[in-house]
């Protein structure tokens, strides 16, 4: 079983260019599924069929898992079994008839403009780490990149003169992202004053090409970025659950609220399908209040 899982995770990383976060989630979900099969005394992969998966999903429901979580686990199992079918390890395809649990659309968490400004002002720009942190926050908000795209950036990916960077998106597709003047200014300060100081901690610093560095002078991980964002979210007392992806949501929401074309935002976010981008067309409280005040005769 370990070999099958290892082969699949390698496939996700190499062929699908999946982020470390996605790979960890798949590994955890499939690990739970394997434990279930082991307790059931099922032979792997011979006993992998419709009934085994239905039994697992029913057990998850009985244990109180939310529909969204069950749907995510089913997606991981489907992807794994599709890989086994493709590689010739599994002949059964009855699992393809299992339907995904119906879940309501969950609106993405986002910050209002004033909340973003509070977050961007939180780091101490008098320290190397603070210079790095403000540059990270400004980069996230200015470009709308995914955290996996952010941490994969190399120094050579950046063109500050043009205010652009090339990121590697999902599926190994390159995308050009744009950087505003505040992001460029913070990046310049980080590159001139912050990064060289942090790089001193790395004995092989001359060969380190990563743009974002951790305290040891090596490439910052996606988990490290999440911790940085969580730190400043707590510092400025913003709502719980705000993550780097929430800044991406805020980027899209603020552009659309200011009148940006949906297809332009789709391109900036690197979405393949416009239906993925349409979730950002939700109405904010500020818009509702503005419409109410302008239209209601007794407002």
Model pLDDT, residue 95: 79
- In tens digits, the chain (299 residues) has pLDDT values of 447 888 899 988 888 888 888 899 999 999 999 998 888 888 777 778 888 888 888 888 888 888 888 889 999 999 998 998 888 888 878 878 887 776 556 667 889 999 999 999 999 999 999 999 999 999 999 999 999 999 999 999 999 999 999 999 887 889 999 999 999 999 999 999 999 999 999 988 788 999 999 999 999 999 999 999 999 999 998 877 899 999 999 999 999 888 889 999 999 999 988 888 888 776 555 565 665 677 666 65
Instruction: Tell me what pLDDT residue 91 has.
Output: 82
| Reduced 3-state DSSP string for the chain | CHHHHHHHHHHHHHCCCCCHHHHHHHHHHHHHHHHHHHHCCCCCCCCCCHHHHHHHHHHHHHCCCCHHHHHHHHHHHHHHHHHHHHHCCCCCCHHHHCCCCCCCCCCCCCCCHHHHHHHHCCCCCCCHHHHHHHHHHHHHHHHCCCHHHHHCCEHHHEECCCCEEEEECHHHCEEEEECCHHHHHHHHHHHHHHHHHHHCCCCCHHHCCECCECCCCCECCHHHHHHHHHHHHHHCCCCCCCCHHHHHHHHHHHHHHCCCCHHHHHHHHCCCCHHHHHHHHCCCHHHHHHHHHHHCCCC
Using an 8 Å Cβ cutoff, are 158 and 184 in contact? Answer: no
Q: Which of 53, 23, 12 is CA-nearest to residue 36?
A: 53
What pLDDT is recorded for position 223? 95
CATH number for the domain running over 113-241: 1.10.443.10
Looking at residue 139, its pLDDT comes to 98
pLDDT of residue 119: 97
| Residue 86 is a catalytic residue | no
Q: Is 65 noted as a catalytic residue in this protein?
A: no
What does the pLDDT read at residue 278? Answer: 82
- Based on the residue annotation, tell me whether 240 is a catalytic residue of this protein: no
Report the distance separating Cα 132 and Cα 262, nearest Å. 32
Tokens for 7, please give them.
């082969």
Exactly one of 83, 132, 219, 248 is catalytic; name it: 248
Query: Which of the following is catalytic: 170, 175, 185, 282?
Result: 170
Question: Any catalytic annotation for residue 254?
Answer: no
Looking at residue 205, its pLDDT comes to 79
Longest dimension (CA), the chain: 70
Cβ(166)–Cβ(155) below 8 Å: no
Active-site residue 245, yes or no? Answer: yes
Among 184, 249, 254, 271, the active-site one is 271
- Which residues neighbour 59 within 8 Å (Cβ) at sequence distance 6 or greater? 36
pTM tops 0.95, yes or no: no
Asked if 146 is an active-site residue, the reply is: yes
Residues 6+ apart with CB under 8 A from 92: 48, 49, 50
165 φ, ψ (degrees, to nearest 5): -145, 150
58, 36 contact by CB (below 8 A)? no
Burial class (CB in 10 A: 0-12, 13-18, 19+), 297: exposed
**Active-site choice (16, 54, 118, 245):** 245
- According to DSSP, the residues that pair with 176 across neighbouring strands are 166
The residue written with tokens 């992969």 in the block is: 45
Closest CA to 281 of 107, 87, 35: 107
CATH: 3.40.50.620, 2.60.40.1110, 1.10.150.130, 3.10.20.310. Which one for 2-97? 1.10.150.130
Q: Check residue 180 and give its pLDDT.
A: 95
Q: Where are the domains of the chain?
A: 2-97, 113-241
Catalytic residue among 141, 190, 232, 280: 280
Q: How many CB atoms lie within 10 A of CB 244?
A: 21
Choice among 146, 219, 249, 254 that is catalytic: 146
């Amino acid at each position: 079983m370990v070999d099958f899982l290892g082969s699949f995770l390698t496939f996700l990383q190499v062929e699908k260019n999946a982020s470390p976060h996605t790979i960890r989630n798949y590994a955890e979900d499939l690990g739970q599924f394997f434990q279930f099969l082991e307790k059931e005394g099922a032979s792997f992969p011979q006993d992998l069929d419709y009934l085994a998966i239905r039994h697992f999903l029913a057990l998850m429901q009985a244990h109180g898992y939310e529909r969204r979580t069950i749907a995510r686990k089913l997606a991981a199992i489907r992807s794994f079994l599709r890989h086994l079918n493709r590689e010739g390890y599994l002949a059964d395809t009855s699992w393809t008839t299992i339907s995904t649990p119906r879940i309501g659309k969950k609106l993405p968490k986002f910050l209002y403009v004033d909340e973003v400004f509070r977050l961007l002002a939180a780091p101490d720009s008098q320290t190397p780490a603070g210079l790095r942190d403000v540059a990270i926050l400004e980069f996230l908000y200015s470009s709308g990149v995914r955290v996996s795209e952010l941490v994969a950036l190399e120094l050579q990916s950046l063109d500050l003169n043009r205010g652009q960077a090339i990121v590697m998106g999902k599926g190994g597709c390159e995308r050009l992202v744009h950087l505003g003047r505040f992001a460029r200014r913070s990046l310049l300060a980080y590159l001139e004053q912050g990064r060289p100081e942090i790089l001193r901690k790395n004995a092989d610093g001359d060969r380190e090409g990563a743009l974002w560095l951790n305290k040891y002078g090596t490439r910052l991980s996606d988990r490290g970025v999440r911790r940085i964002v969580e730190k400043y979210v707590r510092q400025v007392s913003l709502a719980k659950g705000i993550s780097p992806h929430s800044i991406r949501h805020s980027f899209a929401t603020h552009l659309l609220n200011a009148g940006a074309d949906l297809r332009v935002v789709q391109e900036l976010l690197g979405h393949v399908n416009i239906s993925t981008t349409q979730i950002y067309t939700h109405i904010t409280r500020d818009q509702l209040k503005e419409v109410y005040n302008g239209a209601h005769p007794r407002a």
